[in-house]
Each structure stands twice: as C-alpha cells, then as structure tokens.
Amino acid sequence: MCGIVGYIGERPAQDILLAGLKRLEYRGYDSSGIAVILPGKNTPSVRKSPGKIKALDKLLKSKPLAGSVGIAHTRWATHGAPTQNNAHPHIDCENEIALVHNGIIENYEPLKAQLLKEGHVFRSQTDTEVIVHLIEKFYKNIPLEEAVRKALKLVTGSFAIAVIAKQEPDKLVGARSGSPLIIGIGQRENLLASDAPAILEHTKDIIFLDENEVAVLSKNSCKIIDLNGRLVTRETRRINWDIEQAQKQGYKHFMLKEINEQPKIIENLLDLRIQKDNGILFQEQDIPLEKLKSIKSIFIVACGTAYHAGLVGKYALESLCKIPTYIDVSSEFRYRDLLIDKDTLVLAISQSGETADTLAGVREAKKLGASVISICNVLGSTLTRESNGVMYTHAGPEIGVASTKAYTAQLAAIYLFAFYLAEVRDIIPQNKINKLLEELRAIPKKQGAVLKEQDAIARLSRRHSHFGSFLYLGRNINYPSALEGALKLKEISYIPAEGYAAGEMKHGPIALIDEYRAVVCIAPASKVYEKMISNIQEIRSRCGKIIAIATEGDANIKELTAEVIYIPKCEELFSPLLVVLPLQLLAYHIAVKRGCDVDQPRNLAKSVTVE
C-alpha cells in the first residue's frame, strides 16, 4: 500500500524518482507526487496529481523540476479521498519540509487537534500530514533526523517515511516502523524505496532498514540510528534480482509474463533444493533438528493467494509428514485464543513478507513460544527477519497485483519443506521419496505443455467473458485451486466468482446454477475424480455452463461438456501446480477481453501493509 522513492546524488532527481514510482505503481495507483529541492532556493518544490502515474508524468513534462535531491510517492488511499490535496508529498506550514509516507497513523486525530491549537495549518484530510507538522514543530536548531525522531516517538501505527528540508538541502532522511523501507547504496548517490524494483536500475547493494530505525543519507554517506538516537550498524547485501525481471519483456502485461515464467522458476527452485541423493537442502534456519523431530502440530498463517497455497500445504504436510496441520487467514489467526506453544511450528507464507496481518500473527505465535518458518519471495523483508528460518521462493519481482508465479513458487517451496520435514522425521521410505521427487521434477516440463495451449485457452476464455458470475468447484487438494481460480477472476475482471468444495455444492450453491452461470469444474485424475463427475452431471442437468479442467486422455469428460482444458498426467499431490495455470489464464483473458486493467485492478494494492 503506497510506494516511496527517495534520491540524493548528482543526477537530476525527477527522472529517477518518476522511473522508480512507475516500478512501484503496483503498490498503489490512485494518485502520486514528487518533491525536489530546488537548486539555489533550496525549498522543496512539489508536483502532484490524482490518477495513475502517467498523469504525474504529463504534469512533469509541462512543469519539470530541476534538482538532485527528492522524494516521491504513489498512493493507495486510506484516510482522505484520492484527490490532489491528499496526494503526497505533504508539506509543513512554511513550505520548507516535504514528506512522503506509507502506512497509517492511528493517533492522528488527537495529534492533529493539538497541532491545530498550536496554529498549524493543514491542507489535506490525510493522517500523514500530522507527521510533517510534528517535524516542523521540533525542527528548531537541531538536525532534521533529530526532529524526525522526536516526531515519530509521538505517533502510533505504521510508517515508512522519506523527508527533505530546505534548511539541510543535502540530506535525505528515511524511517520505518511496520512498513518496508530499503536503502540503495550507489556511487556518489544513495536511494530509498519501499521495494527493490524501484532502485534496481541504479544499484543492487541494499541495506534493509529494521523496525524503528532512521536513515540519514547524503550523496556519499549513509548513517543509521534508532529512534533513541543510538548509532546502528547494518550490513549491505547484494540482491540478485535484475532490472529485466521487473520489465514486461515484450508481454502485454506483467501478469501474462509472470504466468509464463512459472516453469523456469519452479525448475530453478527444485534444482536449488534437491540434492543428488534426493536430500532436501534447507540450511537457512536455526531450529535444532531435535526440535523439528518433536514438533506436534503445524499452524499455517497467510492471506489471499498465499493462504490458498497454505491450504494445499495442509494436504501436503499431513500426507507427507503425518503432522496435524491447521491453517487460518492471518487476520483471524492473530485475534484467536491460540492453542499453540513451543511444540508448534508456524509456517508463514507471504510473497512480500510485509503483509501486516501475517506479521502480527507471527509475532503472536512467537510470544507463545512457537518456532516460525517462512516461505517468502522478498529477500530481507520483515517476515524473513522475524522467522527462525526462511525458504525463499526465488520467483523474482512479482509486479502484477494478481499473484501468479509467487503462488506456484510457494507451492513448490511447501512441497520441498514437507519433504525436508518428512526426511528429518524419517517418515517416508526413501524409495517413495525418490519416486515422488521424480514426479515433482517433471512438473515444470508439464507446466510448459499447458502454457503451449494458451491460445486455445484464450479463445475459450473469450467465449465465456460475457458471463455475469462464475462458480469454481474442486475437491481435496484441488479445493484450494477452486478458491484461487475464483480469486484470480474476481480481482482482475470484477466478475463475482465463488470457489467451493464441490462436495458442498448440494448444501447451497446448487441453487445458483442455471444457464447464466459458468461453472469451472476442476476434475483431474484423482481419488475424487468420480465424485467430481457426479457434480458435473448435476450441474449439467441444471443447464450450468461447464468448463472442465481434466487430465489428458479423459474422453469421458468430453461427453459431458464441450469445454475442456486438458493438463498432462501427473501425481495427484502435485496437480495444483498444473491446474492453476489454466485458471490464471482464464482469468487473465476474460479480464483483458472486458477491457480491465489486469496489472493494476481497482481498489487493490500489491502488499497490504496496513491492517
């Protein structure tokens, strides 16, 4: 939610900030703005605009900003409508300090009331504006970072901020608590950003700012202090993402590019973890093996698509490791009376590693003594730093708001983790492990085969793009696939879609079925295949429009519906890795046909860093 970029150096800041914002637009896209220190006058000069970043781009073309120090912001509105006034940066009463913010200031109302009493003039309805007025209040004969520190000690909620000021035009200050902020170390320049893609073009040397830390940047230096003013040392890490990964590379949308990247990502992930003797490599954790052996239960916490990956994980972990596995969406988990303790392993799944509810859930679990393993895509994110171990998904930057490649990479990582745990606990005979891993290794090629059929899937999708609502049905390990298929469709096409366990159909959803309802039936070869066929028969006799996902060679299903998408034969346990590809493509092509902005769907933001 909201993206921040900051630059201090020798090059023109405007273009660097704007390019950075474009790479962060997935985080929020209802308005944007930029402030640059005007050379000579040293005042922060601001341009902002409601709407997508191209509106700001247009404005800057007609009214460019010169200067080599600046901050920028792309917004996902929380407090105050997406108007010009509410867009960031926000400035103090004297137009001398400019600030951008990602997060929510929960106590902004009393702070604002107090500041108003003291004579401050507010120009927006945002919670953010209180921070810049607080800084103004304290910024009297002390360095900017000291004023920032004093201001931040008064606010509650979550924030990542970047600040520039007239009095110290060669300084860029950033700070974070609860929202991500990274520092890019360059040659005679330094940068700040919410996420790496914004600065990858300029540097891969990154410092991950920790909670309650303040960064003080000049073009040649980077000092970090905590909120009490103590100096902090943080290592610089080199990230292996490259800028091409954050570009469309000829695809019409990031989502389509990311769908097509999946076979390679899964193949790389498997190569990285599966050793010659089929042992699973997982050194990035500090939980003693003895403890892993004695774990009594696993609790999975995640949101959205990552939650669906976790649902598949429950089946996989129970089947491979024989450990009772529970799962909850993070927003429920965090407020439950949790029956977990030191014998519980919490598996937190998150693409971004910054989802507020998942982080809160993990913190609750740790308080109760549980160990936490995370499955995460973003190196150095908050979740990874707060876990006892991390299995990275190495999917590269995911820019499309609808998660695709991160999902299948999460699935692969969960399977790998389940094999690892099964090995540690000596649950499965080696010959069975060998056979299953061989099947898993065959998946990327089979995914490639599904993607080869994407023109046919696109045609089928377009034939169904006029339906006003969709039902997705699946059973057992593909019940989560039904949920994920429905989520993909609703978030990018805005068509109401529901995912259901097919066995529940007769308990209600069957009432919805008529000739106007499209029903996606996930029916690959499996132990529940016959049950799915019965569901299909029932839908057929009520004239529902069926799209089936089935295993190649299944001629039977063709008798029941003309619309079948085939996937290659595979081990049932791994079928979610194949089944989801046609579901992603179906959602994508329906949304494109309906003229929707698939990479930036309305009201959504990539990382939900506020509750």
When asked if residue 403 is in the footprint of ligand AGP (CB under 6 A), the reply is yes
| Joined tokens for residue 536 | 């299909």
Interior/surface letters 474-509, b for 16+ CB within 10 angstroms, e for the rest: bbbbbbbbbbbbbbbbbbbbebebbbbbbbebeeeb
When asked if residue 352 is in the footprint of ligand AGP (CB under 6 A), the reply is yes
Residue 583, CB-side half-sphere exposure with 13 Å CA sphere: 41
Nearer residue to ligand AGP within complex by CB, 8 or 349: 349
Task: Specify whether 606 is catalytic.
Answer: yes
Largest CA distance in the chain: 81
When asked if residue 285 is in the footprint of ligand AGP (CB under 6 A), the reply is no
> Which positions from 304 through 343 interact with ligand AGP, judged by CB under 6 A?
304-306
Out of 22, 257, 446, 606, pick the active-site residue: 606
When asked if residue 350 is in the footprint of ligand AGP (CB under 6 A), the reply is yes
> Which positions from 355 through 374 interact with ligand AGP, judged by CB under 6 A?
355, 358
When asked if residue 351 is in the footprint of ligand AGP (CB under 6 A), the reply is yes
Which residue has its beta carbon closest to ligand AGP? 304
Look at residues 76, 88, 12 and name the one whose alpha carbon lies nearest to residue 49. 88
When asked if residue 158 is in the footprint of ligand AGP (CB under 6 A), the reply is no
Nearest distance in Å: CB 389, ligand AGP = 17
DSSP assignments along 182-250, one per residue: EEEE-SS-EEEESSGGGTTTT--EEEE--TTEEEEE-SS-EEEEETTS-EE----EE----GGGGS-TT
> Judging by DSSP bridges, how do beta strands 3-8 and 371-376 pair with one another?
unpaired
Let me know: does 353 contact 182? Beta carbons within 8 Å. no
Nearer residue to ligand AGP within complex by CB, 572 or 599: 599
Nearer residue to ligand AGP within complex by CB, 214 or 412: 412
Look at residues 439, 574, 453, 583 and name the one whose alpha carbon lies nearest to residue 522. 583
Out of 2, 222, 376, 521, pick the active-site residue: 2
Nearest distance in Å: CB 29, ligand AGP = 14
> Which positions from 481 through 510 interact with ligand AGP, judged by CB under 6 A?
491
Which of 160, 402, 532, 567: binder of ligand AGP (CB under 6 A)?
A: 402
Task: Specify whether 248 is catalytic.
Answer: no
- Report the distance separating Cα 159 and Cα 609, nearest Å: 9
Nearer residue to ligand AGP within complex by CB, 14 or 358: 358
| Contact letters for ligand AGP, residues 287-306 (x by CB under 6 A) | ----------------xxxx
Look at residues 200, 189, 162 and name the one whose alpha carbon lies nearest to residue 4. 162
When asked if residue 412 is in the footprint of ligand AGP (CB under 6 A), the reply is no
Nearer residue to ligand AGP within complex by CB, 129 or 261: 261
Apex 361 CA angle, 358 and 364, nearest 5: 155
- The one-letter code for the residue type at 78 is T
Nearer residue to ligand AGP within complex by CB, 405 or 517: 405
Cis peptide before 82 (omega within 30 of 0): no
Find all residues with CB under 8 Å of 607, minimum gap 6, and list them: 1, 27, 180, 195, 351, 352, 354, 355
Nearer residue to ligand AGP within complex by CB, 262 or 355: 355
Q: Please work out the total of residues on this chain that contact ligand AGP, with binding judged by CB under 6 A.
A: 15
| Contact letters for ligand AGP, residues 589-608 (x by CB under 6 A) | ------------------xx
Residues that bind ligand AGP (CB under 6 A): 303-306, 350-352, 355, 358, 401-403, 491, 607-608
Active-site residue set? 2, 606
